[in-house]
Chains A and B, each alone.
Chain A
Amino acid sequence: EAEVAQSPRYKITEKSQAVAFWCDPISGHATLYWYRQILGQGPELLVQFQDESVVDDSQLPKDRFSAERLKGVDSTLKIQPAELGDSAMYLCASSLKAGPYNEQFFGPGTRLTVL
């Protein structure tokens, strides 16, 4: 069964450092999502891509976060500089396309700890 791949699974960094997360969606999935999930809360959408284009990044803190999906396949989410409040699980998901009846398939996530 095809799965969404993410790496690394765990990342520990110090504040003010740069971190990057990688996501490889299910083959053929045009829509890719990055979420941030703080412990005890539901996932919060950071950015949504349709192929290589950003559909929604209204909740992405653009002063420190950036996301790209250059060839419309895999994607990278970067934080620079990291802050203590960025400690969370970062989840990537993909779907065949956006819209109803296109379930999102989630990866295992990257757990970030900022010291």
Chain B
Amino acid sequence: LAKTTQPISMDSYEGQEVNITCSHNNIATNDYITWYQQFPSQGPRFIIQGYKTKVTNEVASLFIPADRKSSTLSLPRVSLSDTAVYYCLVGDNYGQNFVFGPGTRLSVLP
């Protein structure tokens, strides 16, 4: 059962801000929203996690509206090295309640 919907692919240019939105209409009270990044031939890498409102770390921001039915990952001033697949996950990190979808393939162009 798919818990999240996100765009299959996005293109951007170096130096631009990129926003990737994820829909999760059936999010449960105990669910958190987590984003991972994956480069080719590597395992995914944790980017950011949040429950509500806004979370910011050194690489990204995560915006979550009050109804929590969607979330937006914001990458400021992307570079070519940000070209990767970005996964939005909703769940509590226990077993099958934390499922990777197909992700969003971000291509950053020069």
Per the CB 8 Å criterion, the residue count for chain A at the interface is 30
> B42 — which chain A residues lie within 8 A by C-beta?
106, 108-109
Q: Are A58 and B46 in contact (CB under 8 A)?
A: no
Q: Are B96 and A43 in contact (CB under 8 A)?
A: no
The dominant DSSP class at the B interface is loop
The dominant DSSP class at the A interface is loop
Q: Are A42 and B43 in contact (CB under 8 A)?
A: no
Residue A61 CB within 8 A of the other chain: no
CB distance from B48 to the nearest CB of A (A): 10
Residue A45 CB within 8 A of the other chain: yes
Per the CB 8 Å criterion, the residue count for chain B at the interface is 23
Please pick, from A56, A107, A109, the residue contacting B96 in the complex, using a CB distance under 8 A.
Answer: A56
Residue A93 CB within 8 A of the other chain: yes
Q: Are A93 and B49 in contact (CB under 8 A)?
A: no
In the complex the two chains form, what is the Cα distance from A49 to B80 in whole Å?
Answer: 37
- Residues of A at under 8 Å CB distance from B? 4, 35, 40-45, 48, 55-56, 58-59, 89, 91, 93, 95, 98-109, 111
In the complex the two chains form, what is the Cα distance from A48 to B94 in whole Å?
Answer: 8
Please pick, from B93, B101, B102, the residue contacting A99 in the complex, using a CB distance under 8 A.
Answer: B93
CB distance from B55 to the nearest CB of A (A): 11
CB distance from A41 to the nearest CB of B (A): 6
Contacts A58-B96, A107-B43 given; does A42 touch B87 at CB 8 Å: yes
Please pick, from A43, A55, A99, A106, the residue contacting B92 in the complex, using a CB distance under 8 A.
Answer: A99
The chain A residue sitting closest to B99, CB to CB, is A45
Contact with A along B68-110 (1 / 0, CB 8 A): 0000000000000000000100001111101111110000000
Supply 21 A–B pairs (Cβ within 8 Å), ascending by A: A42-B87, A43-B44, A43-B100, A44-B100, A55-B94, A56-B94, A56-B95, A91-B43, A95-B93, A100-B51, A101-B32, A101-B49, A103-B46, A103-B49, A104-B36, A104-B93, A106-B44, A108-B41, A108-B42, A109-B42, A109-B43
